[in-house]
Structure 1
Amino acid sequence: MTDFLSITETPGALLNREQLGRMALRYSLAAELAGGRRVLEVACGAGVGLGLLRGVARSLAACDYSTAALALAQQSTGAQVLLAAADAQHLPYAAGAFDLIVSFEAIYYLPQPAAFLSECHRLLATGGRLLLSTSNPEWPFFAPGALSVHYPTAPELARLLQEAGFQSVALYGSLPVDRMLSPWGAARARVRRLLLGVGVFRSDNLLTRALKRLGYGTLTPLPPLLPASMRLADPFHELTPLQADQPDRRHRVLFALAEK
């Protein structure tokens, strides 16, 4: 079994302001959509974002391939979230069981992303929605992460969702590249891409933490659950609508919101 815990953002992990902001945006978007709905998070990892969802969802379930990550999620959420070990390409839930499915930064680890999206379509009730995010492989300083299989482009992601049966697909971009293209920002991005390429961040020690600060800037420990204070008041305002049939090289992160 692949050890995805090694690349999972776990409590205590050192993240920079941008990484924390990305996480806050993901779960703020999810919380905006989750009110009064039956919600499932696929590839929940250590469950850091579940706290923002359980306060607004009608019911909340979550799953992950890594049992070690789920054990951390269990410590943080107790019995308030129904947790399960599951392969995202073969999900153990009944058809139509959910109104909202969310999955963040996970699709590029899957050998069969089409199977995952078909499973999401099966599990959603009519009118249900899927929210997912992925790193954009077409931004200038893109570097694939450890254990990744394939990063879909914006048009490819739209096509996969349509082929899975989703009737309505909207794509968005976040983190515009031009915000970070100062000389120092570009240099830091090059350092980060180099360090990711040689697998430096797969271990955690004083040296790798120093190198991570060089590549990412000031670092803050990740809490077990994101506090309510991190929820953005108007998260969709942070997104830029994209054309589903056009490549996007301006944003670091892609979001898709699809409706059954």
Structure 2
Amino acid sequence: MSGSNYSAVTEKPGDRVTREALAMVYTRYRFALDYCRGKRVLEVACGEGVGLEYLARQADQVVGGDLTWDLLVRARRSGTLRRSLVQLDADALPFHAASQDVILCYEAVYYFERPLQMLQDCRRVLAPNGLLILCSVNPEWSDFNPSPQSRQYLSAGRLASLAEAAGFRTELLGAFSTESPGPKATMVSWLKRTAVALHLIPSTMRGKRLLKRLFLGELVSFPSAVEDGLAPYCPPVSIDSRRPVTDYKVLFALCRPR
């Protein structure tokens, strides 16, 4: 992954996003919060670190790391971060063994060339009773649209098997139901699937914002920092990875060292 720059596919403060996308961001950090109380926490692929201060309210120590230097520079310049930031490769973490209690990796595993090696290194860095929380879009969702810089997306079953191979006991959860709430959502879903099939989805965040505006109407501003009540919270629920998971848009994995 060395030398890669993921600024173009990373949502940044001030970007225009859908209300559901904002709820997904809030849900990720709200879900993690209870696991971080009094813990040493590392977020891998933290981007501009919008959730670090939120987690630090409960954690004993928080560190954010990302491969893309530009994102870390912007995080430091924002003035909202007081956490430690470090440039890192996810499959060669610059931390001692058993030095972290909780590791978060959100919406990033599909960018990794060697996801198993990344999981193994997280296992090395975690304390014996530690926890790795992964979050990823569900590629078995019918409206799934891959990121232009992605390498491989992991289904629920594949995510569980890789984590097991890396030495974890894994519990999988899903969030954000795919059930359509009405005719408008059904039409938007059809338009999105058609655009994906015809390769009409823009590769840049700017192009995607325009498409979202056309399909979904009013967008909201992506925050510089996560706060309580930022958006509705959608608690993840347990799922069975032994069958295709098509009823949730987002996957979570709670991975504990064996």
Match in the other structure for 1:174: 175
Task: Measure the CA separation in 2 of the matches of 1:79 and 1:143.
Answer: 32
Query: 1:247 and 1:202, CA in 2 relative to 1: closer, same or farther beyond 3 A?
Result: same
Return 8-17 or 220-229, whichever deviates more: 220-229
Q: Which residue identity is paired with 2:226?
A: L
Task: Measure the CA separation in 2 of the matches of 1:228 and 1:181.
Answer: 26
Residues 202-213 of structure 1: pairs in structure 2 closer than 5 A: 202=204, 204=206, 209-213=209-213
- Unaligned regions of 5+ residues in structure 2, if any? none
Task: Measure the CA separation in 1 of the matches of 2:190 and 2:95.
Answer: 42
Question: For the aligned residues, what is the CA RMSD?
Answer: 2.0
Please give the secondary structure, in 2, of the residue aligned with 1:62. Answer: strand
Query: 1:210 and 1:161, CA in 2 relative to 1: closer, same or farther beyond 3 A?
Result: closer
> Which of 246, 251, 256 is 2:248 aligned to?
251
Instruction: Give the TM-score of the pair, scaled to structure 1.
Output: 0.90
Instruction: Give the TM-score of the pair, scaled to structure 2.
Output: 0.91
Task: Measure the CA separation in 2 of the matches of 1:226 and 1:26.
Answer: 10
TM-superposed deviation, 1:112: 0.6
Match in the other structure for 1:42: 44
TM-superposed deviation, 1:251: 0.7
TM-superposed deviation, 1:181: 5.5
TM-superposed deviation, 1:41: 0.1
Deviations 1:111-143 (A, max 9, x none): 110011001100000110011111111111111
TM-superposed deviation, 1:212: 2.2
User: How many positions carry a matched residue from both structures?
Assistant: 253
Residues 1-260 of structure 1: pairs in structure 2 closer than 5 A: 1-76=3-78, 80-166=82-168, 168-178=169-179, 180=180, 182-193=182-193, 197-200=199-202, 202=204, 204=206, 209-230=209-230, 238-260=235-257
Task: Measure the CA separation in 2 of the matches of 1:79 and 1:18.
Answer: 25
Task: Measure the CA separation in 2 of the matches of 1:147 and 1:252.
Answer: 20
Deviations 1:136-179 (A, max 9, x none): 1111111111101111111111101110001x21000111111x
Q: Which residue identity is paired with 2:256?
A: E
Q: Which residue identity is paired with 2:89?
A: D
Deviations 1:180-202 (A, max 9, x none): 36332132134345556434251
Q: Is the CA contact (8 Å cut-off) linking 1:176 and 1:251 kept in structure 2?
A: yes
- Unaligned regions of 5+ residues in structure 1, if any? none
Task: Measure the CA separation in 1 of the matches of 2:79 and 2:61.
Answer: 13
Task: Measure the CA separation in 2 of the matches of 1:66 and 1:216.
Answer: 30
Task: Measure the CA separation in 2 of the matches of 1:3 and 1:89.
Answer: 16
Task: Measure the CA separation in 2 of the matches of 1:72 and 1:252.
Answer: 29
Please give the secondary structure, in 2, of the residue aligned with 1:146. Answer: coil
Task: Measure the CA separation in 1 of the matches of 2:216 and 2:113.
Answer: 29
Task: Measure the CA separation in 2 of the matches of 1:50 and 1:231.
Answer: 17
Task: Measure the CA separation in 2 of the matches of 1:151 and 1:203.
Answer: 19
Q: Which residue identity is paired with 1:117?
A: L
Q: Which residue identity is paired with 2:187?
A: A
TM-superposed deviation, 1:209: 4.2
Q: Is the CA contact (8 Å cut-off) linking 1:76 and 1:225 kept in structure 2?
A: no
